[in-house]
Structure 1
Amino acid sequence: MSEYIVRFLVGGAVVSVFSMLGDLLRPKSFAGLFGAAPSVALATLGIAIYGHGASYAAVQTRSMMAGAVALAVYSVVVCQLLVRARMRALPATLLSIVVWLAMSFVLWSVTGGLA
């Protein structure tokens, strides 16, 4: 239970720091970029290093990077379906989830799975 409290406190502190950084940058659209994902990832990695060691955190880091690549591919496919194929948002996102899942499994297998 205490791990969740630490994760909550560290994650909240890092989210606040990244939000302040986002407020200082121009354009304001960068504020959302620095809001949640980097801070949660850093808090999770800090707890992983503290609780399980650097090798465990390295596996978590590879998984986070693979997830970021899969999300980027998903985003590009959604944009292409919306703009070029003129699909509506719901069918485009639902179809792209299949692409995201496939990309995630490919990257998972390439990076060694559960290593």
Structure 2
Amino acid sequence: MTEYVVRFLLGGVVVSLFAVLGDVLRPKSFAGLLGAAPSVALATLGIAVYQHGADYAGLQSRAMIAGALALAVYSFVVCQLLIRARLRAIPATLLSLVVWLVTVFGLLTITGAQA
């Protein structure tokens, strides 16, 4: 239970710091980029380092990077299916989900990271 409270508080502080940073930077679209996901990931990695050590956190960070790269590929494929193939949203996202799964598990296999 304590871990969840620490994660909540640390995540909230880091989210607030990123929100302030996003508010200061121009253009304002950075605010969305610096939203919750990066700060929660940093808080999670900080807790992982504290509880399990740097090696474990390194594995987790590689898994996060693989997920982010796979999300970029997924987003690109969804856009292509929506614009070029003129698919509806549900078929485009479901087809792209397969691409995401193949990409992320391929990257995890190549890097030796664990999901």
TM range (shorter): over 0.9
**Which sections of structure 1, spanning at least 5 residues, go unmatched?**
none
Identify if the C-alpha distance between structure 1 residues 100 and 88 changes in structure 2 by more than 3 Å, giving closer, same or farther: same
Q: Provide the residue aligned with 2:65 in structure 1.
A: 65
Identity %: 72
Given residue 65 of structure 1, which amino acid in structure 2 is its aligned partner? Answer: I
8 Å CA contact retained: 2:62, 2:113: no
User: After TM superposition, which residue ranges in structure 1, 4 or more long, deviate above 4 angstroms?
Assistant: none
**Which sections of structure 2, spanning at least 5 residues, go unmatched?**
none
What does 1:1-115 align with in structure 2 at a 5 Å threshold?
1-114=1-114
Supply the RMSD in Å over aligned alpha carbons.
1.0
Deviations 1:35-58 (A, max 9, x none): 111101100000001011111111
TM-score normalised by length of structure 1: 0.94
The offset of 1:111, in angstroms, is 1.2
Q: In the comparison of the two structures, how many residue pairs are matched?
A: 114
